[in-house]
Structure 1
Amino acid sequence: MGNYKSRPTISCTDELKKKISESYALFRSKVIEDLRPKDSDWTEVQLAVTNSTDLQLLTKLLDDSNYLEKTDAGLTLLHIACISGAPCSQIEKLIKKGVNVNALTKNNFSALHLSTYRGDSEQVELLVTNGADVNQSGHSGVAALHITAMCGHHEITKILLESGAKIDNGDLVKFSSLHIACHFGHEKVVELLLSNGSDININGSVRDRPIHLASSKANLKIMQLLVEGTSQQKADVNVKDDEGHTPLHFCCKSGHLVTLHYLLDHDALPHEVNIYGDTPLHLACYNGKLEIAKQLVAQTGPASLCIENIFSETPLHSACTFGKNLELVKFLLEQPQVDINLQGKDGHTALHSACYHGHLRCVQFLLENRADMTCVAAVSDQSGDSEKREERLYCERTPRQTALMWAYERGYDDIVTLLKHYKRPSDESACGDYSQPGSLDGSYVAVPSPLGKLRSMTREKIDVLQLRATLSHQFHLQITDLEFQETIGSGSFGKVYKGKCKGRVVAIKRYRASSFGAKSDVDMFCREVAILAKLNSPYVINFVGACLDDPSQFAIVTHYVAGGSLFSLLHEQKRLIDIQSKLTIIFDVAKGMEYLHNMPLPIIHRDLNSHNILLEENGHAVVADFGESRFLRSNDEDNMTKQPGNLRWMAPEIFTQCTKYSVKADMFSFSLVVWELLAGELPFAHLKPAAAAAETAYHNTRPPIAVTFPKPIVALLHRGWHSNPDERPEFREIIPTLDACRHSEAVAMLSNAEAAIGGGAGISLSLPMVTTVRGCQDGMDDDGLGGEEGRDTPPLAGNVSALRNHWDMEASKNSSTGVSEEKRSYPQLDANGYVSDPLSTLRISMPSMLRSCPLHSSLPSCTSQAPSSTSSSDHQDPES
């Protein structure tokens, strides 16, 4: 479909702005985490610091043995005093006692950062007077001046500048405090920064200036401050970023009329194009901004109406690509320079654009205004790779690239039906299902028959035919062979059912027919069937067959695994799992991944997470769901798909848009699954999946290690989630360690002791889980388990059916003894798989029953010792 298919849905600048927003949203969540600490396990002197009315108590308790105390979150007494609003005399006393004024919490915040965020100018002045570093970088490279620019505390801004704050220092994405103040719209801070010499034209990561950020906001005062500037410098209203966007581009994309008028009045160039060939009018139309389009045409003339970008699109094409604002399309069609049937350089019309994006009402509106359905788009000759060339050659032998064909290939059946049967008032009849290919009047066009759907122009349809020819006969199934029962899962592809196939209980993954309009869904189906047909291992899902005869009936049939997914077991059913069973699951998954990675043609899973690990009734695990998997033909491949799989378990090299990665990405995901299983909660449960992936990729954060994790597992985690894929082990290297762990005498003793202390079936010992954020050695005894009490981690029973009985009996016991469900401290998950209440992961109980338990330190190291230091950048504090 020509160059048009190559159009990016989001520009590099948009991507950067998104990362900035996510970064500062994450920054806020980390600050709030430190400002609302959990004080139930604080010492007496830490609690005394929070009591601002009883200064004598603090004086009495504070001595040389406790003035350097820190909480689990890394809060010093000075941090506690600042966040609790302690009087300045108390803060000064702590500083004079020797508390480090520049100490950072585990979230990388100093006392000055927290006081600045709170807006306490008196505290800030006291801290900088007593040696606080005003340029100290904290979380995301943010200094105190960035924080005050974000929050709009102009009085604190003045204090920091007078104390030597570097006004043009950049954060992690090279944004200065002026960038931040413009982005968040704080006029007084912008004015103060400019009057103190801030560089008005300073560059961000993609050469975006403060005026670019201000122009995307509806704040006229800030725009005036930048454009009118100072006697030394002024902002250029036509300055471009790396993608050629001017402030007017940003303004038109955001839809701010007041800013538009101001920029045009100050000589902004209305017909400038970015590197994609977009004028400001293009961006207004791509984003459905009707009033902006009207004002641009009225004030700058119609010159932009006929300009095509590099995707052969005029503003009318752009408005139909957006497709949701018919008033905008109508306005453009009313302009005398605009032709509804104008074909771009590649031949596609506005009707093609609306059909490609599935805008039914827009298609109907265009047809009613005499859009021509017979206009034909060309196939691009500019593609250099072999796949594109093959597609082009194939397209030349297929039906013409009409708007109907674009809708047909995208799977928009309602638009196809409309185009095939549309009847204009002047037409005698509409098109039928058996139109003649030679008919060229505007009322109808040739369409392949339903049987020809797989023989239409796209290469992915050829892949289905090849799969049908090469798949072994034993795996060919008919839809009539299947008996569908209840739904057990769903996704973007369709639904998964429990059912029967020739008397055998199976799981049936049924694809929606409409999903085969998209290339990615066809690729997923073909790859999954091709991969499953080659697998034969007790550690991966057993393939039964596939239905390939009719696209509307495509399905994949596998063995039914009765225990369900590990995710469901841990986070939805909240089953109790003992240490022996946890290690068995880990071992089984590792064996499955070893099998995949060491096949003659290695398979990279790319979506390994607790959703795709299924449990048999006997407690053993199998690896499943190969929809995102692919054969790895060479370690040097650089055409891997960007960001496949679930973000929460995604390896950093995949999340950062790398297209050259290896099987070591699976090891990273496996390590997070191991942590999830041992900890009993989601990795980064308080964050949304995208934010969790960003934490691991951009901040090198890893989940906190509990002191109760066996030392060999801790060592495995540190290697497995290393930021450098080359430093991660292969699965065949770690299997001996896992096997030794699960068969060790200590594990057997611990499992038996759990049952004994529990008093029989339905009662188990809860292992203590103390979340220590710095490494795994702090508080750990010589045998690999911690000696402190902490959070309850549900132990495991031996098999899935027993777990259900165990949980029911536990629930009954708790209700009879008055233990409420809320006290069990399990996170509440929403439909997206992350906790709806972030603080629920912090509400942890303190069991006292294990304080004297001799088994608490009885698990020896199986093969290796955990790392003795966490000074490496890959072993840093997980929340830093």
Structure 2
Amino acid sequence: MGNYKSRPTYSCTDELKKKISESYALFRSKVIEDLRPKETDWTELQQACSSGDLSTVRSLLSEENAGDTTDTGLSLLHISCISGASSSQIKLLLRKGVKWSTLSKNQFTALHLAAYRGDVEQVEALADGGSEVNQAGHSEVTSLHIAAMCGHLEIARILQTHGAQIDVGDIVKFSPLHIACYFGHEKVVEFLIQNGVDINISGSVGDRPLHLACAKGNLKIVQQLVEGNGQNKADVTVCDDEGHNPLHFCCKSGHLVVLHYLLDHGAQPHHTNIYGDTPVHLACYNGKLEIVKQLVSLTGTESLTKENIFSETPLHSAGTYGKNVELVKFLLDQDCVDINCQGKDGHTALHSACYHGHTRVVQFLLENGADNNMVACVSEQSGDSEKREEQTALMWAYERGHDAIVVFMKHHKRPSDESACSDYSGSLDGSYVSVPSPLGKLRSMTKEKIDVLQLRATLPHQFHLQLLDLEFHEVIGTGSFGKVYKGTCKGRTVAIKRYRASSFGAKSDVDMFCREVAILAKLNSSYVINFVGASLDDPSQFAIVTQYVAGGSLFCLLHEQKRLIDVHSKLTIAVDVAKGMDYLHTLPQPIIHRDLNSHNILLDEHGHAIVADFGESRFLRSAEEDNMTKQPGNLRWMAPEIFTQCTRYSVKADVFSFSLVLWELLAGELPFAHLKPAAAAAETAYHNSRPPVGITFPKPIVSLLQTGWNTDPDQRPEFREIIPILEECRQSQAVAMLSNVDPPPSLFPSALPMVTQQEVDGEGRTTPPLVGHVSALRNHWEAEASRNSTGPSPSDENRRRMPFPQLDKNGYVSDPLSTMRAAMAKDLSDDKSDNAPDT
């Protein structure tokens, strides 16, 4: 862990608390937006409700207009509550059938707005009139949450009397008690405790109300929680999912009075969280000198020698904070603290101060005996080998660009030194090589854990699975993430994508897992894989469960089983895939697949295709988004704009991949089979090469391929334009004849122009009509030329008249339009000659 060089500023809990704070700030703004409506284009009845004119409301109100709402979704009840109308008006509207359950566009009921305003009469009238007091609105917040947030005690009483669930959770599983503690409303906390709330109820990351109260430093609420009501008391040693106990929160925030109270009631002063931090560590990371003094005075020096997982003692932590020299001085005054104490990775407090650019602390440490020649050992992974590099504190300052510290350290001279930095200054310019900081990896680790915690909170309950719910059978696939099994889940045959056991630090795995689960949970189409659920409990138990598709992948069918598929079935698969991709691209929040290839197209027992594997997919927020991942997906099917390191690309990248899949499906071969994947991607991106289009391909398909794999994404069609072309080809008489199926009614006046003659190879096996390999095309040309030539070899005239594409030295199309031009030239030639070869 020392390779990270510094502990992150925020823990996952801190990050989530910040987001919760921002969420409730957004909540307030949404409420205020509803409370200040624009009254333009309001009806006379709506204006009467707004002005509280009860007689006019009574005369105008009818069954027909009782359900009227404004452009922002405000019902007559909303308007009445906003304007402070009397309870009589509220009761009248309810009697006349105005629905209390109507949600505004900001997801609030009239009861939510009345509770926020603190209007006791309106709340009582709504509750007495049958309003559901537990109805959730924006962010799953109920009216009791709102009363707790605003500190409206009387309204909380009314809601509780009318059946409000006292332990109900919002979107992050915060109960009204959490909210009251977070916003510091002592009387509401007292009321909730008296009415039997679960004092130790857990939020989405295991955070209890006591944790929030300690972080806020509200002694009165802390006392209420700890003293509780009978047996219902807060546990002062309880930990959240990251191992923080109430003392951690108190010390990080610097609340001395709460600190003393917790210690008097049995708090554990040397307990460590999952990062190895004691309360002293967190106090030092946040510069809380008085907290550190009190902890050391009251609980001893045990914590001062403990290292966290980042190889840092409290002295390192104070060096990382770096804004309180007095704190550093106090720690060095303790007998057990060594100024040159090295963590497990070898770095000292001087390293930490240099890394974060704290000049005053660096100076103080050097003047008090810090050794600037001590080294930290940083490991760099390169392939299968591990390289260890020793780095001084000066190198850490160089790495971060803290020039003032570098100059100071190079010229600093202690009384015992003959020259300043003599051992290092002579070789610095010649040997020092800056190494990239791994700090970003640590921030990524924190972000990934936040993503998992949020996924747990937001994923609908029906999709939450336990690993014990699953039975694993045979392995049906493998990948860098782990393995895919055939299995059963609650009696249903399913496919289980089991991620290998990994830590939160494995960004690619966690990021892929979270995005795939979030996307799958949004999908509902017969053309994309059906999501069953996911195991989210622990990184070692990550698993995604989907429907089991019996036919396997298109890749397996074409290239491993080498099955011969008739043209009609091939086009059926193509249509299904196009419909699946069109569904993804036209969702309210479009999804770009980014890894469309024959491996990720599954076939059911009826020969229909299903688009699968959304590990590389992501929601597309904007067409102009410029932060897309570089080179996601399989290189062989990758669009040129992605391969060339572009970070701005659109759903048209999926169209390019689909075009290569369509060619692969019709040709029965891998695109650029003679090249490795990276070379194939480079060939398409830098040489504008494309696979050869067979002369037996239907002409509409040829045209579709040419536009679909166009270098310019804007020139590629959308899937809604592709589907009709494929459907027309599939229903044509020519395809029906080739596929030995009954031709459909003559929807199209002429059959699609395509070659129907099949070749017979040396083994007597028939070659399918849609063959794309270069050698097969050339053999076809030679055979056709031989049949139509009287000489022993094909004539130049016959060669000129064959619609064969222009090929490069590798046998692939160097000019993507050459096939089209060749086909057009042949049509013109056929019109002028009665002796054209019969194709």
2:406 maps to 1:404: no
2:54 maps to 1:50: no
| Residues 13 and 243 in structure 1, CA contact (< 8 A), matched pair in contact too | yes
Deviations 1:495-550 (A, max 9, x none): xxxxxxxxxxxxxxxxxxxxxxxxxxxxxxxxxxxxxxxxxxxxxxxxxxxxxxxx
Deviations 1:315-362 (A, max 9, x none): 000011111111211111122221111111111100011111122222
| Residues 3 and 312 in structure 1, CA contact (< 8 A), matched pair in contact too | no
Asked which structure has the greater RCO (Cα within 8 Å, sep 6+), the reply is 1
Which residue of structure 2 lines up, in the alignment, with residue 414 of structure 1?
404
Which residue of structure 1 lines up, in the alignment, with residue 428 of structure 2?
448
Equivalents in 2 of 1:324, 1:419: separation in Å? 19
| Residues 178 and 208 in structure 2, CA contact (< 8 A), matched pair in contact too | yes
Which residue of structure 2 lines up, in the alignment, with residue 280 of structure 1?
279
Judged with a 3 Å threshold, the aligned counterparts in structure 2 of structure 1 residues 457 and 18 are, in CA distance, closer, same or farther, namely closer
Q: CA RMSD in A?
A: 3.8
Which residue of structure 1 lines up, in the alignment, with residue 264 of structure 2?
265
SS at match of 2:243: coil
The structural deviation recorded for 1:414 is 2.0
Which residue type is aligned with residue 267 of structure 1? G
Equivalents in 2 of 1:429, 1:122: separation in Å? 82
For 1:57-68, list aligned pairs within 5 A: 57-68=56-67
Which residue type is aligned with residue 416 of structure 1? V
Q: Of 718, 731, 738, which residue of structure 2 is paired with 1:734?
A: 718
TM-score, structure 1 normalization? 0.51
Equivalents in 2 of 1:152, 1:389: separation in Å? 60
Which residue type is aligned with residue 734 of structure 1? E
SS at match of 1:631: coil
Aligned length: 490
For 1:208-227, list aligned pairs within 5 A: 208-227=207-226
The structural deviation recorded for 1:448 is 2.8
| Residues 605 and 629 in structure 1, CA contact (< 8 A), matched pair in contact too | no
Which residue of structure 1 lines up, in the alignment, with residue 11 of structure 2?
11
Judged with a 3 Å threshold, the aligned counterparts in structure 2 of structure 1 residues 412 and 118 are, in CA distance, closer, same or farther, namely same
Equivalents in 2 of 1:594, 1:335: separation in Å? 59
Which residue type is aligned with residue 63 of structure 2? D
| Residues 374 and 445 in structure 1, CA contact (< 8 A), matched pair in contact too | no
| Residues 50 and 80 in structure 1, CA contact (< 8 A), matched pair in contact too | yes
Judged with a 3 Å threshold, the aligned counterparts in structure 2 of structure 1 residues 412 and 594 are, in CA distance, closer, same or farther, namely same
Judged with a 3 Å threshold, the aligned counterparts in structure 2 of structure 1 residues 307 and 635 are, in CA distance, closer, same or farther, namely farther
The structural deviation recorded for 1:666 is 8.9
Q: Which stretch shows the higher mean deviation, 400-409 or 186-195?
A: 400-409
Judged with a 3 Å threshold, the aligned counterparts in structure 2 of structure 1 residues 46 and 319 are, in CA distance, closer, same or farther, namely same
| Residues 5 and 352 in structure 2, CA contact (< 8 A), matched pair in contact too | no
| Residues 277 and 310 in structure 1, CA contact (< 8 A), matched pair in contact too | yes
Equivalents in 2 of 1:207, 1:288: separation in Å? 26
Equivalents in 2 of 1:9, 1:636: separation in Å? 41
Deviations 1:375-404 (A, max 9, x none): 111235xx8xx55865x41x44xxx31101
| Residues 355 and 403 in structure 1, CA contact (< 8 A), matched pair in contact too | yes
Which residue type is aligned with residue 246 of structure 1? N
Judged with a 3 Å threshold, the aligned counterparts in structure 2 of structure 1 residues 62 and 6 are, in CA distance, closer, same or farther, namely same
Residue ranges of structure 2 left out of the alignment (5+ in a row): 439-591, 598-615, 638-644, 655-712, 725-839
Equivalents in 2 of 1:200, 1:636: separation in Å? 57
SS at match of 1:102: coil
Judged with a 3 Å threshold, the aligned counterparts in structure 2 of structure 1 residues 459 and 135 are, in CA distance, closer, same or farther, namely closer
Which residue of structure 2 lines up, in the alignment, with residue 235 of structure 1?
234
Q: Which stretch shows the higher mean deviation, 415-424 or 214-223?
A: 415-424
Equivalents in 1 of 2:426, 2:160: separation in Å? 71
2:12 maps to 1:22: no
Which residue type is aligned with residue 20 of structure 1? I
Equivalents in 2 of 1:17, 1:274: separation in Å? 17
Judged with a 3 Å threshold, the aligned counterparts in structure 2 of structure 1 residues 209 and 596 are, in CA distance, closer, same or farther, namely closer
Equivalents in 2 of 1:208, 1:369: separation in Å? 42
Which residue type is aligned with residue 142 of structure 2? A
Which residue of structure 1 lines up, in the alignment, with residue 307 of structure 2?
308
Judged with a 3 Å threshold, the aligned counterparts in structure 2 of structure 1 residues 136 and 458 are, in CA distance, closer, same or farther, namely closer
Which residue type is aligned with residue 309 of structure 2? I
Equivalents in 1 of 2:11, 2:221: separation in Å? 25
Which residue type is aligned with residue 74 of structure 2? L
Which residue of structure 2 lines up, in the alignment, with residue 201 of structure 1?
200
Deviations 1:648-682 (A, max 9, x none): x99xxxxxxxxxxx976999xxxxxxxxxxxxxxx
Which residue type is aligned with residue 5 of structure 2? K
Which residue of structure 2 lines up, in the alignment, with residue 109 of structure 1?
108
Deviations 1:284-317 (A, max 9, x none): 0011111111111111111111111111111000
| Residues 606 and 629 in structure 1, CA contact (< 8 A), matched pair in contact too | no
Which residue of structure 1 lines up, in the alignment, with residue 295 of structure 2?
296
| Residues 448 and 456 in structure 1, CA contact (< 8 A), matched pair in contact too | no
Residue ranges of structure 1 left out of the alignment (5+ in a row): 461-592, 599-603, 614-622, 638-644, 651-661, 668-728, 741-880
The sequence identity of aligned pairs, in percent, is: 63
TM-score, structure 2 normalization? 0.54
Equivalents in 2 of 1:102, 1:192: separation in Å? 27
Equivalents in 2 of 1:355, 1:429: separation in Å? 21
2:239 maps to 1:255: no
2:183 maps to 1:184: yes
Judged with a 3 Å threshold, the aligned counterparts in structure 2 of structure 1 residues 257 and 79 are, in CA distance, closer, same or farther, namely same
Which residue of structure 1 lines up, in the alignment, with residue 417 of structure 2?
427
Judged with a 3 Å threshold, the aligned counterparts in structure 2 of structure 1 residues 266 and 416 are, in CA distance, closer, same or farther, namely same
Which residue of structure 2 lines up, in the alignment, with residue 90 of structure 1?
89
| Residues 347 and 376 in structure 1, CA contact (< 8 A), matched pair in contact too | yes
Judged with a 3 Å threshold, the aligned counterparts in structure 2 of structure 1 residues 665 and 123 are, in CA distance, closer, same or farther, namely farther
| Residues 606 and 628 in structure 1, CA contact (< 8 A), matched pair in contact too | no
Which residue type is aligned with residue 341 of structure 1? N
Equivalents in 2 of 1:327, 1:81: separation in Å? 59
| Residues 606 and 666 in structure 1, CA contact (< 8 A), matched pair in contact too | no
Equivalents in 2 of 1:335, 1:192: separation in Å? 46
Which residue type is aligned with residue 32 of structure 2? I
Equivalents in 1 of 2:401, 2:164: separation in Å? 57
SS at match of 1:313: coil
| Residues 373 and 445 in structure 1, CA contact (< 8 A), matched pair in contact too | no
The structural deviation recorded for 1:19 is 2.2
For 1:488-503, list aligned pairs within 5 A: none
Deviations 1:595-654 (A, max 9, x none): 9999xxxxx9999998x96xxxxxxxxx9x7x87522353899xxxxxxx9xxx99xxxx
Equivalents in 1 of 2:283, 2:411: separation in Å? 33
| Residues 664 and 730 in structure 1, CA contact (< 8 A), matched pair in contact too | no
SS at match of 1:206: coil
SS at match of 2:377: coil
Judged with a 3 Å threshold, the aligned counterparts in structure 2 of structure 1 residues 89 and 635 are, in CA distance, closer, same or farther, namely farther
Judged with a 3 Å threshold, the aligned counterparts in structure 2 of structure 1 residues 232 and 64 are, in CA distance, closer, same or farther, namely same
Structure 1 or 2, whichever has the larger Rg, is: 2
Equivalents in 1 of 2:121, 2:239: separation in Å? 41
The structural deviation recorded for 1:75 is 0.3
| Residues 150 and 181 in structure 1, CA contact (< 8 A), matched pair in contact too | yes
Which residue of structure 2 lines up, in the alignment, with residue 2 of structure 1?
2
| Residues 312 and 344 in structure 1, CA contact (< 8 A), matched pair in contact too | yes
Which residue of structure 2 lines up, in the alignment, with residue 37 of structure 1?
37
Judged with a 3 Å threshold, the aligned counterparts in structure 2 of structure 1 residues 247 and 663 are, in CA distance, closer, same or farther, namely farther
Equivalents in 2 of 1:665, 1:215: separation in Å? 52
SS at match of 1:378: strand
Which residue of structure 2 lines up, in the alignment, with residue 718 of structure 1?
none
Which residue type is aligned with residue 408 of structure 1? Y
Equivalents in 2 of 1:201, 1:635: separation in Å? 52
Which residue of structure 1 lines up, in the alignment, with residue 373 of structure 2?
374
Which residue of structure 2 lines up, in the alignment, with residue 868 of structure 1?
none
Judged with a 3 Å threshold, the aligned counterparts in structure 2 of structure 1 residues 63 and 633 are, in CA distance, closer, same or farther, namely closer
Deviations 1:265-297 (A, max 9, x none): 111111111111110000000111111111111
